[in-house]
């Protein structure tokens, strides 16, 4: 294959260190010690944060400090800058009870929340569309270097969509599946097909509440319409549409992202790998893959395996090429390929600060726009690849399915060529990595159980497993990095509750050692017995954030086995350190699907008692589930255990 793509520099080239290192640098060892240990529970991250403080490298925690105090009206959801009559703030004590348009606190808070949720649903779903389009282009022979890996899953999805399979090649089937799924985004079909995977009882609740998702884009566009001034005027009505939009994400956009990635790159199987900043190698070219869509990172993995690239690395003086993951792209690669994981959201700047990273390759979502500034103080190159992102100061490759392999190879070549620029004296790899098990797709769990979900249901019925909780979401400087995830998971497994995790929550628990079978010693007697018998950890890695859709499918399977709705299961969700709009959508489709969900960070809704009441109580009368907000993970565990015990009692188990 010919290799010709060349990068363009976005904006301007950041030639020398762009940070005011002298201003940022701290020299007092006591202050450094106190500040760093207050920021994270990740031991290697503590060391790197100390390093950044001494070196004057600005991080997310520094910027958070600089932003204090944050605006209280904005935090409460009471500010609106939606139209040009504003911006407005609701300040009752100053007789400002309505915005210029006449919207009150309830409406302003609800509109802001729907805006946030919809942004998240759009992000997941647009990722889903990108992967579906790649499948379609693979089918018609226009995608370079991609292939259909899981034909069985392709056939299964084809059957769900009514696509003819007999006597057809996998490419022909992929073309029709791709086309059919692209229709799921618009208004042509008027139904989100994968939502049929939910149990009948759950679908009945959606129908009664009028929140059956009609299509992915339709709900998103309608949400944006509803939040225009002079349209949505009723906070409850606005929030109900939020649930419908979120369902279109969870059972639509995200589920397509997960399933079609499985078809293209393989459905994950249980594997073992390593996690934390210690996965970097001193004598290798280190490339971190950061972002979300595996259509980029899978191709980089292929290109890095090319003998030509290996030879080039050796020529540059390296022993080889070491690919490491970050955030959800890292989760995708870890799940399918066992690629080691450098860390979660708040590790992204610290990886660069090791001085051992030749390139950080990114696509979209959760990538700090300031990364090129951080990298400008090291030899690291930030390589952006998505036309949707194009980070200023990055090297941009126009990556798309038609030129995927050539571009991936050009990216790897650029990273390898950067190895001689590494300043060995500045390299600090702060420790050794931790082992973790990953790859717990629904299919892998089912296979481990012997082919059906009945044994898991039996273990739940017997009380060996008291319940199951999906711990998901991000890092947020309002919470000590990883503390919320790890504390909650430890307390739940101690109480015989199986944890299934995705996103940055999963990475946090991996780093804490909870994703190896020997972590079962931390579990209660029932769960410990199950883990020992099956050789699995008490905390299961189920993938990236779009893979929260795997949690939905797992819950649906358990509910169907018991012939109940999802809302009747002894299950819950939690997002102890969430920050992103995507997390709002995830939390909302969990709740809309019947899953009680506890948030560790307060959403921007405190300004409306009515909105708070509806989300934390009122929704019980609609979808038999609600949100709770509890920043203390131990107290959150208590709420969840109480909820699970209540559901067990109602089921008579
Ligand atoms: O989608 S958990 S910080 S990386 S938003 Fe982002 Fe949050 Fe991490 Fe993945 Ni999800």
**CATH number of the domain that residue 640 is part of:** 3.40.50.2030
With respect to residue 317, please indicate whether it lies within any of the assigned structural domains: yes
**Residue-wise pLDDT tens digits, 514-545:** 999 999 999 999 999 999 999 999 999 999 99
Same domain, 500 and 638: yes
Structure tokens at 45: 């991250």
How far lies 233's CA from each of 73, 221, 230, 327, in Å? 21, 17, 7, 38
List alpha helices for 516-632, DSSP H: 525-534, 548-562, 581-592, 609-613, 620-623
Distance 276 CA to ligand 1 centre (A): 16
Residue 148, Cα to own-chain centre: how many angstroms? 24
CA dist., res. 384 & res. 361, Å (int): 6
With respect to residue 208, please indicate whether it lies within any of the assigned structural domains: yes
The predicted pLDDT at position 95 comes to 86
How far lies 271's CA from each of 192, 376, 537, 540, in Å? 32, 36, 12, 11
The predicted pLDDT at position 5 comes to 87
312 touches 530 (CB < 8 A): no
The predicted pLDDT at position 1 comes to 45
With respect to residue 481, please indicate whether it lies within any of the assigned structural domains: yes
Atom of ligand 1 nearest to the CA of 583: 5
With respect to residue 605, please indicate whether it lies within any of the assigned structural domains: yes
Same domain, 202 and 298: no
Structure tokens at 468: 């199951």
Atom of ligand 1 nearest to the CA of 292: 9
User: How many residues are recorded in the chain?
Assistant: 653
Question: pLDDT grade, residue 60 (50/70/90)?
Answer: very high
The predicted pLDDT at position 228 comes to 98
Distance 233 CA to ligand 1 centre (A): 32
Same domain, 32 and 121: no
The DSSP letter of residue 96 is B
Spatial neighbors of 491 by CB under 8 A, at least 6 apart, are 633, 634, 637
**Residue-wise pLDDT tens digits, 255-277:** 999 999 999 999 999 999 999 99
Please say if the pLDDT value at position 2 is more than 70.
no
Mean local confidence (pLDDT), 133-144:
98
Closest CA relative to residue 468, chosen from 401, 414, 540, 403: 540
List alpha helices for 478-580, DSSP H: 483-494, 503-511, 525-534, 548-562
Mean local confidence (pLDDT), 575-596:
98
Q: Which residues line ligand 1 (CB under 6 A)?
A: 292, 327-328, 344-345, 365-366, 473-474, 503-504, 544-545, 580, 582-583
- Which residues make beta-bridge pairs with 273? 436
Same domain, 188 and 336: no
247 touches 184 (CB < 8 A): no
Looking at the chain, the whole-number percentage of residues with pLDDT higher than 70 is: 100
- Select from 426, 450, 483 the last residue of a domain: 426
How far lies 319's CA from each of 261, 277, 312, 410, 605, in Å? 31, 19, 10, 20, 53
Distance 366 CA to ligand 1 centre (A): 6
CA dist., res. 466 & res. 452, Å (int): 19
Structure tokens at 192: 């989100």
Please say if the pLDDT value at position 14 is more than 90.
no
Same domain, 338 and 469: no
The predicted pLDDT at position 181 comes to 98
- Kindly report the backbone phi and psi dihedral angles of residue 162, in degrees, each rounded to the nearest multiple of 5, phi listed first: 75, 25
With respect to residue 487, please indicate whether it lies within any of the assigned structural domains: yes
CA dist., res. 576 & res. 473, Å (int): 7
| Mutational test site, ligand 1, from 328, 342, 471, max ligand atoms within 8 Å of CB | 328
The predicted pLDDT at position 187 comes to 83
CA dist., res. 489 & res. 541, Å (int): 12
- Select from 380, 401, 426 the last residue of a domain: 426
| Mutational test site, ligand 1, from 504, 508, 551, 586, max ligand atoms within 8 Å of CB | 504
> Strand, coil or helix: what is 516?
coil
Structure tokens at 482: 């990883």
Distance 92 CA to ligand 1 centre (A): 36
78 half-sphere exposure, CB direction, 13 A CA radius: 18
**CATH number of the domain that residue 196 is part of:** 1.20.1270.30
How far lies 461's CA from each of 61, 409, 452, 464, 490, in Å? 44, 52, 15, 8, 22
Cα dihedral sign for 481, 271, 446, 547?
positive
**Cis before 142 (ω within 30):** no
Mean local confidence (pLDDT), 617-622:
98
CA dist., res. 252 & res. 331, Å (int): 20
Distance 342 CA to ligand 1 centre (A): 14
Distance 99 CA to ligand 1 centre (A): 33
With respect to residue 99, please indicate whether it lies within any of the assigned structural domains: no
The whole model's pTM is what? 0.97
CA dist., res. 120 & res. 245, Å (int): 10
- Helix, strand, coil percentages in the chain from 3-state DSSP, rounded to 5: 55, 10, 35
Same domain, 460 and 412: no
Structure tokens at 84: 């040009």
- Kindly report the backbone phi and psi dihedral angles of residue 455, in degrees, each rounded to the nearest multiple of 5, phi listed first: -60, -35
Atom of ligand 1 nearest to the CA of 327: 4
Which residue has a Cα nearest atom 1 of ligand 1? Answer: 545
Which residue has a Cα nearest atom 6 of ligand 1? Answer: 366
The DSSP letter of residue 328 is H
With respect to residue 355, please indicate whether it lies within any of the assigned structural domains: yes
257 touches 586 (CB < 8 A): no
Q: Residue 552 CB: number of other CB atoms within 10 A?
A: 29
Same domain, 421 and 453: no
CA dist., res. 269 & res. 536, Å (int): 13
CA dist., res. 154 & res. 151, Å (int): 5
Structure tokens at 64: 């958070």
With respect to residue 631, please indicate whether it lies within any of the assigned structural domains: yes
Please say if the pLDDT value at position 3 is more than 80.
no
Closest CA relative to residue 518, chosen from 502, 539, 503, 499: 539
Distance 376 CA to ligand 1 centre (A): 25
529 touches 521 (CB < 8 A): no
Mean local confidence (pLDDT), 198-212:
98
The predicted pLDDT at position 254 comes to 98
546 touches 618 (CB < 8 A): no
**Residue-wise pLDDT tens digits, 448-480:** 999 999 999 999 999 999 999 999 999 999 999
Same domain, 402 and 521: no
Which residue has a Cα nearest atom 3 of ligand 1? Answer: 474
Same domain, 451 and 523: yes
CA dist., res. 28 & res. 36, Å (int): 12
Atom of ligand 1 nearest to the CA of 582: 5
Which residue has a Cα nearest atom 4 of ligand 1? Answer: 327
Q: Residue 95 CB: number of other CB atoms within 10 A?
A: 7
Same domain, 198 and 112: yes
| Mutational test site, ligand 1, from 327, 507, 542, max ligand atoms within 8 Å of CB | 327
CA dist., res. 496 & res. 505, Å (int): 19
Count of domains for the chain: 3
Same domain, 281 and 261: no
Structure tokens at 583: 């997390």
Same domain, 507 and 600: yes
The predicted pLDDT at position 486 comes to 99
Mean of all residue pLDDT scores within the chain = 97
Q: Residue 275: enclosing H or E segment and its boundaries?
A: strand 271-275
- Select from 365, 392, 426 the last residue of a domain: 426
Q: Which domain holds residue 639?
A: 440-651
Please say if the pLDDT value at position 313 is more than 60.
yes
Looking at the chain, the whole-number percentage of residues with pLDDT higher than 90 is: 96
464 touches 608 (CB < 8 A): no
58 touches 371 (CB < 8 A): no
């Amino acid at each position: 294959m010919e290799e010709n793509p060349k990068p363009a520099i976005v904006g301007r080239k950041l030639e020398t260190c762009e940070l005011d290192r002298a201003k940022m640098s701290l020299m007092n060892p006591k202050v450094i010690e106190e500040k760093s240990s207050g920021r994270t529970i990740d031991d290697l991250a503590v060391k790197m944060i100390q390093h950044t403080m001494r070196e004057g490298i600005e991080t997310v925690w520094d910027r958070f400090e600089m932003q204090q105090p944050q605006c209280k009206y904005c935090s409460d959801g009471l500010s609106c800058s939606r139209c040009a009559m504003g911006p407005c703030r609701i300040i009752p004590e100053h007789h400002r009870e309505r915005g210029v348009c006449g919207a009150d606190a309830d409406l302003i808070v609800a509109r802001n929340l729907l805006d946030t949720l919809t942004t998240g649903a759009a992000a997941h779903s647009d990722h889903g569309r990108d992967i579906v389009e790649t499948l379609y282009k693979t089918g018609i022979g226009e995608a370079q270097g991609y292939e259909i890996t899981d034909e069985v899953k392709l056939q299964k999805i084809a059957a769900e969509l009514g696509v003819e399979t007999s006597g057809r090649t996998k490419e022909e089937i992929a073309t029709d599946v791709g086309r059919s799924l692209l229709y799921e985004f618009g208004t042509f079909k008027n139904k989100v097909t994968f939502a049929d995977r939910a149990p009948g009882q759950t679908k009945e609740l959606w129908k009664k509440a009028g929140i059956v998702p009609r299509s992915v884009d339709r709900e998103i566009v309608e949400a944006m319409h509803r939040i225009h001034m002079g349209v949505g005027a009723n906070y409850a009505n606005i929030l109900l549409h939020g649930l419908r939009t979120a369902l279109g994400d969870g059972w639509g956009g995200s589920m397509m992202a997960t399933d079609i990635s499985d078809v293209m790159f393989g459905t994950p199987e249980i594997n073992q790998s390593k996690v934390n900043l210690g996965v970097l190698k001193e004598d290798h070219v280190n490339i971190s893959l950061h972002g979300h869509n595996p259509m980029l990172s899978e191709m980089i993995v292929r290109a890095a395996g090319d003998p030509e690239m290996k030879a080039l690395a050796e020529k540059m003086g390296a022993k080889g090429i070491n690919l490491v993951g970050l955030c959800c792209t890292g989760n995708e690669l870890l799940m399918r390929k066992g690629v080691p994981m450098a860390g979660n959201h708040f590790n992204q700047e610290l990886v660069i600060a090791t001085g051992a990273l030749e390139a950080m390759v990114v696509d979209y979502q959760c990538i700090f726009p300031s990364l090129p500034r951080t990298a400008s103080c090291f030899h690291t190159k930030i390589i952006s690849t998505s036309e949707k992102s194009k980070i200023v100061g990055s090297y941009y490759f126009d990556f798309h399915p038609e030129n995927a392999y050539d571009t991936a190879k050009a990216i790897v070549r650029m990273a390898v060529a950067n190895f001689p620029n590494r300043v060995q004296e500045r390299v600090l790899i702060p420790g050794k990595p931790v082992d973790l098990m990953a790859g717990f797709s629904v299919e892998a769990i089912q296979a481990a159980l012997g082919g059906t979900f009945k044994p898991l249901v039996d273990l739940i019925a017997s009380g060996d497993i008291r319940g199951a909780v999906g711990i998901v979401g991000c890092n947020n400087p309002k919470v000590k990095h990883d503390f919320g995830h790890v504390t909650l998971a430890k307390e739940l497994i101690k109480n015989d509750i199986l944890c299934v995790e995705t996103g940055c929550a999963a990475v946090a628990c991996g780093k804490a050692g909870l994703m190896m079978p020997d972590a079962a010693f931390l579990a209660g007697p029932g769960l410990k017995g199950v883990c020992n018998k099956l050789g699995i950890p008490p905390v299961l890695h189920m993938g990236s954030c779009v893979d929260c859709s795997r949690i939905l499918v797992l819950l649906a399977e358990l509910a169907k086995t018991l012939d109940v709705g999802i809302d009747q299961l002894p299950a819950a969700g939690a997002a102890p350190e969430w920050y992103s709009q995507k997390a709002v959508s995830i939390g909302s489709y969990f709740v809309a699907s019947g899953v009680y969900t506890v948030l560790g960070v307060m959403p921007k809704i405190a300004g409306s008692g009515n909105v708070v009441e509806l989300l934390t109580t009122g929704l019980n009368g609609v979808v038999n589930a609600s949100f709770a907000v509890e920043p203390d993970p131990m107290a959150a565990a208590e709420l969840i255990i109480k909820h699970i015990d209540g559901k067990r009692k109602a089921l008579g188990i």
